[in-house]
Amino acid sequence: MSPALLVVAGHDSSGERDGSGRSAGLLADREAAGAFECTTLEAVTAWTDQAAGRVRSVGAREPCLWLAEARALLAQADAVKAGLLPGAAHAAAFGTLVDARERHVPVVVDPVLAASGGELFVPPDELARWRDELLVRPLVLTPNLPELAGLLEVAPRALDEDLSERLEAARALLARGLAAVVVKGGHGREDPVQDLVWERGAEPSWHAHPRRRGAARHGSGCLFATALAAGLAHGAPLPKAAAAAGEFVAARLVPEA
């Protein structure tokens, strides 16, 4: 029987409309989960209207609505993955879901703070509470470098090339209470790309993969976090699951137009 992955995320149908098939959100989650032979259980946090790489609107649902759906599915899940949590109230609701687990299942959070076009999903005046609700809980966080900088309110350029700065940033996040941090290096300047995997109580490790210049994929963060969560649902250790997720995403990057 395939493991079940509970996905709490937004819906983006832009890939269906433009014919590319490269959507973010739940459609990307389904793609990644299916590739890793997991079934998905889904709770939609928001409906987004996206086109030409821009977010035109976000129709967030009331947190109590999707939380009730997620709670009803939680007992069936072998792992949980969260994507778009559009505001502090949504982060708080997801925190209660993490606390409601009656058995240990791994929880992965992709901290979607902004769209690739720059539109903010988490209002600036809610970021501090958003962090406080999530970073104190024993979950696996998968930030890219801009998200890592945003969470710690540091200049992104400080993390572009200096791997020691990334280590210190990950250490700061772990100190808040997270179970693990997986920092994706795709936005950095190093070649090969260096992904950092650091679990509480373990030594940090780096996973290198070739940089594909000029290649990108809408929804790559969703794909990575869901592939990682699927690996954990199958019982893989975090470093192995992270390496497999990185290879999965790298194979789906396409040259930018």
3-state secondary structure the chain: CCCEEEEEEEEECHHHHHCCCCCCHHHHHHHHHHHCCCEEEEEEEEEEEEECCEEEEEEECCHHHHHHHHHHHHCCCCEEEECCCCCHHHHHHHHHHHHCCCCCCCEEECCCCECCCCCECCCHHHHHHHHHHHCCCCCEECCEHHHHHHHHCCCCHHHHCCHHHHHHHHHHHHHHCCCEEEEECCCCCCCCEEEEEEECCCCCEEEEECCCCCEECCCHHHHHHHHHHHHHHCCCCHHHHHHHHHHHHHCCCEECC
Q: Please report which confidence band the pLDDT of residue 64 belongs to, taking 50, 70 and 90 as the band edges.
A: very high
Q: What is the mean pLDDT of residues 223-229?
A: 96
Q: Please report which confidence band the pLDDT of residue 21 belongs to, taking 50, 70 and 90 as the band edges.
A: low
Q: Mind listing the pLDDT tens digit for each residue in 51-60?
A: 656 666 567 8
| Topology (CATH) of 4-252 | UDP-N-acetylmuramoyl-L-alanine:D-glutamate ligase (3.40.1190)
pLDDT at 18 over 60: no
Query: What pLDDT was estimated at residue 189?
Result: 85
Position with higher pLDDT, 162 vs 173: 173
Say what the pTM is: 0.92
